[in-house]
């Protein structure tokens, strides 16, 4: 990734369990492009350490003493100090949605494979978001208000079903921006989108910035929800 071409990605680990902190440090240490610059045992320490150490990415636990991970995530992302990837043992929707609303760039369970954890750190540092497939589906369902028992492909909704604001945004997107958004919502990275469209990665980033600005969206996660909600791509299980 482009982030690793100039310097290592600086990572701060925040977890109230010493064994977990050590394990995460060992896992991240296997990637030459990552550097663990510090650890924190609670959310308050994480906020202070983020200000002091200037990490690119913070790995954040949810349930901790003093200040929980969601509150700490909100404080860190509000200042633009670092990207936050939430890593927790608790597979609960309220934690997921609270963390995403607080500005987290990723949400993974602690049973995630090491390779996916490393990929999530790289993705966050590169301004992208990486969520496990089941997490992505939950976010889509909440954003589109699709029932939990839906298991088949849903047809594209008619234009009349869209809100006036959603229709305004769709009308404002160029054909290429729609194409980029569809590929993003299909799970492609910036590099993969660039390759499929035969354009530079910088061009893809420009298109994504334009999409977020036109739609008033904060990040790629919200862009995915928007793509499904407006029927740009159908929802499949």
> Which of 131, 163, 198 delimits the end of a domain?
131
Residue 30 has a CB neighbour count (10 Å cut-off) of: 10
Same domain, 120 and 165: no
Residues 137 and 120: their CA atoms lie apart, in Å, by 17
Give the CATH number, domain containing residue 62: 3.40.50.2300
**pLDDT digits (tens), the chain, 237 positions:** 444 446 899 999 999 999 999 999 999 999 999 999 999 999 999 999 999 999 999 999 998 989 999 999 999 999 888 999 998 876 666 777 788 788 888 888 888 889 888 988 988 888 776 666 566 666 666 655 544 444 433 334 333 456 788 888 989 999 999 999 998 887 777 888 999 999 998 999 999 999 999 998 877 777 887 887 788 876 554
Beta pairing class for 57-60 and 34-40: unpaired
Give the 3-state secondary structure of residue 127. coil
Q: Are residues 29 and 60 located together in one domain of the fold?
A: yes
Q: List CB contacts of 161: < 8 A, sequence separation 6 or more.
A: 231
Residue 225 domain-assigned? yes
Q: Is residue 218 part of a domain?
A: yes
- 51 falls within a domain: yes
pTM score: 0.69
The phi-psi region of residue 80 (left if phi > 0; otherwise alpha if psi is between -120 and 50; otherwise beta) is left
Contacts of residue 32, Cβ cutoff 8 Å, sequence gap at least 6 = 8
């Amino acid at each position: 990734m482009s982030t690793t071409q100039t310097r290592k990605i600086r990572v701060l680990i925040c977890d109230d369990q010493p064994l977990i902190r050590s394990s995460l440090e060992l896992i991240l240490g296997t990637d030459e492009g990552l550097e663990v610059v510090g650890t924190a045992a609670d959310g308050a320490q994480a906020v202070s350490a983020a200000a002091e150490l200037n990490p690119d990415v913070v790995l954040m636990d949810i349930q901790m003493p003093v200040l929980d991970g969601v509150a700490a995530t909100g404080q860190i992302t509000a200042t633009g100090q670092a990207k936050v990837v939430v890593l927790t043992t608790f597979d609960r929707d309220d934690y997921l949605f609270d963390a995403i609303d607080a500005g987290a760039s990723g949400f993974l369970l602690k049973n995630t494979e090491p390779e996916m954890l490393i990929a999530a750190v790289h993705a966050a540092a590169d301004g992208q978001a990486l969520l496990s497939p089941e997490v992505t589906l939950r976010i889509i369902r909440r954003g589109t208000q699709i029932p939990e028992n839906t298991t088949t492909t849903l047809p594209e909704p008619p234009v009349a079903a869209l809100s006036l604001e959603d229709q305004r945004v769709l009308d404002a997107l160029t054909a290429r921006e729609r194409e980029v958004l569809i590929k993003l919502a299909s799970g492609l990275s910036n590099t993969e989108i660039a390759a499929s469209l035969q354009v530079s990665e910088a061009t893809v980033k420009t298109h994504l910035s334009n999409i977020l600005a036109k739609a008033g969206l904060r990040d790629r996660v919200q862009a995915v929800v928007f793509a499904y909600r407006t029927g740009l791509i159908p929802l499949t299980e």
